[in-house]
Amino acid sequence: MSRLTATICLTLAVLLGTLGCQSTQTSTNANWLGLNIDYQRAVNAFESGDYVKARQLLIPIAESGYRPAQYNLAVLYYQGNGIAQDYSKAAEWFSRAAKQGDAQAQNNLGAMYLKGKGVTYNHKIAESWFTRSADQGTAAAQYNLATIYEGGYDVKQNYEKAAHWYERAADQGHKKSQSRLAYLKKENKAECLSLGKCSISKPTVTFDGAMQALKDGDYSRGFKQLTKLAKSGNRDAQVVLGQMYNKGKGTPPDFRMAMKWWRQAAEQGSMPAQYKLGVMYAAGKGVEVDYVKGLMWLKVAEFGGYEFSGSSEMNKFLFTAIEDRLTSSQIEEAQNLAHECIRKKYKGC
C-alpha cells in the first residue's frame, strides 16, 4: 500500500472572514485581549496582499495567547505567503493553538508529525493530535485517523475503526471519506457496515454545542461536555467550567475546582480567568486569602488589556478595597509579580 498522505487543512479563515477550516474564538475573546485594532490591521494587510505586514502584526497578538492569530501565523509560515516558508515555525504556532484546543491546528500539527515537516516524524504524536481533533468533529482529522487504521500504519490494522471514522467524516460531506467508505463496504472489509453500527461512539463535542446546552437549561449535559473540552485544553471551556463550579450549576459548588480550571485557563493567557483568580484570592474562596496574589492576578489582567465588566466605579472600588489592605511595599510587590508573571507567559505565577 502507498504511503499515508495526511490531509492538512490550511485556510486563513479568520483573516478572510469566511470559515473554511479554521475554528475561531468568539469576538468577545478578542475584546478580552484588547487587540481589536491591531488584529483588524492584520486583516487589512492580508487582504491587501501585504503578508509581511500581516505577519508583523500577528506576532505580538499570537504571543499574547490569542488562538486564531496563532493559527493564522502558522499558516503564513507554512505556505510562505510573501515570507520565507518555515515549517519549523509553522509547527511551533500550530502547537500553541492546538494546546489551546483549536481543532484545526490539532489536525494540522498531526499531519506535520506524520510527514516529518518542521518536526521529527512521530506517528504516535500524530495519532494523538488527530484523535483530539477528530473528537471535536474535524472531518479532515477523522479521515486521517481512518486512513491510519485502514492501512495499519504503525498501528494494528482495524477496519471497524476505519469505517467508524470514515462514516463520521462522510456524514459531513467529506468526499474522500465517502469514497473509502464505499470501497470498504463493497469489499466487505468491516462487519459493522453491513450491520449499520459503525458510528456508535459518543457524539462530537464542541464548545458551541456545550454553550447551547447551557442556554437550553441542560446544565448536566453542558457540564459533561465542557469537562471533556477543558481536559483537552480548550481554554474557553476551562473558563466556563470554572464558573459552573463557582456557581454550582450542573455540579455541586466547589471553589477549589473553580480555581483549578481558571488557573489552567489563566496560564494559557485567558484574561477573564486571570481576573477571576484575582477575585478568588482576595475573597479567600477555594484558597487562603492572599491580597498580594489577588492584586497580582488583577494587574496581570489589567496590563493585558482586559475589559473589566461592570462600571468603572465598581472596578475602581475592587482595586481600592484590596489595596487598602496592603502596605505600599506590598502593592509594589504585587505589581512586580504581575510583570514577572507576564514575562514567564503566566506559568508558575
The 10s digit of each residue's pLDDT in 229-264 is 898 888 899 999 999 999 888 889 899 999 999 999
Q: Could you give all domains of the chain from N- to C-terminal order, each with its CATH number?
A: 13-195 (1.25.40.10), 205-253 (no CATH), 272-349 (no CATH)
The label of the residue with cell 474562596 reads 285
User: What pLDDT is recorded for position 4?
Assistant: 46
Q: How far from the centroid of its chain's Cα atoms is residue 99's Cα?
A: 6
Neighbours of 323 (CB within 10 A): 15
Cα distances (angstroms) measured from residue 208 to each of 12, 226, 241, 332: 21, 10, 14, 41
Q: How far apart are CA 274 and CA 262, in angstroms?
A: 7
pLDDT digits (tens, 9 = 90+) for 317-333: 677 788 888 899 999 99
**Sign of torsion, CA 224 225 229 234?**
negative
Amino acid (one-letter) located at 337: L
7, 111 contact by CB (below 8 A): yes
Cell of 146: 481512518
Q: How far apart are CA 61 and CA 319, in angstroms?
A: 27
| Helix 139-151 × helix 159-170 angle, to 10° | 160
Q: How far apart are CA 313 and CA 331, in angstroms?
A: 20
pLDDT, tens digit only, all 349 positions of the chain: 333 445 555 543 333 222 223 433 433 343 433 455 677 788 788 878 888 888 888 898 888 878 888 888 898 899 887 678 999 999 999 999 898 888 889 999 999 998 899 999 998 898 899 988 888 888 888 899 888 888 877 778 888 888 888 888 888 888 888 888 888 877 777 666 655 555 544 556 778 878 888 888 888 888 988 998 898 888 899 999 999 999 888 889 899 999 999 999 999 888 889 999 998 998 888 889 999 999 999 989 888 777 665 445 556 667 778 888 889 999 999 999 999 998 888 888 8
Amino acid (one-letter) located at 52: V
77, 45 contact by CB (below 8 A): no
DSSP assignments along 188-238, one per residue:
T--HHHHHT-S--SPPP--HHHHHHHHHTT-HHHHHHHHHHHHHTT-HHHH
User: What pLDDT is recorded for position 239?
Assistant: 94
Contacts 24+ apart (CB under 8 A), 90-98: 90/117, 90/118, 91/117, 91/118, 91/119, 92/118, 93/62, 94/70, 96/62, 96/70, 97/67, 97/68, 97/70, 97/71, 98/129, 98/132, 98/233
Neighbours of 340 (CB within 10 A): 13
Q: How many CA atoms lie within 13 A of 100 on its CB side?
A: 30
Cell of 62: 499570537
**Sign of torsion, CA 59 61 65 69?**
negative
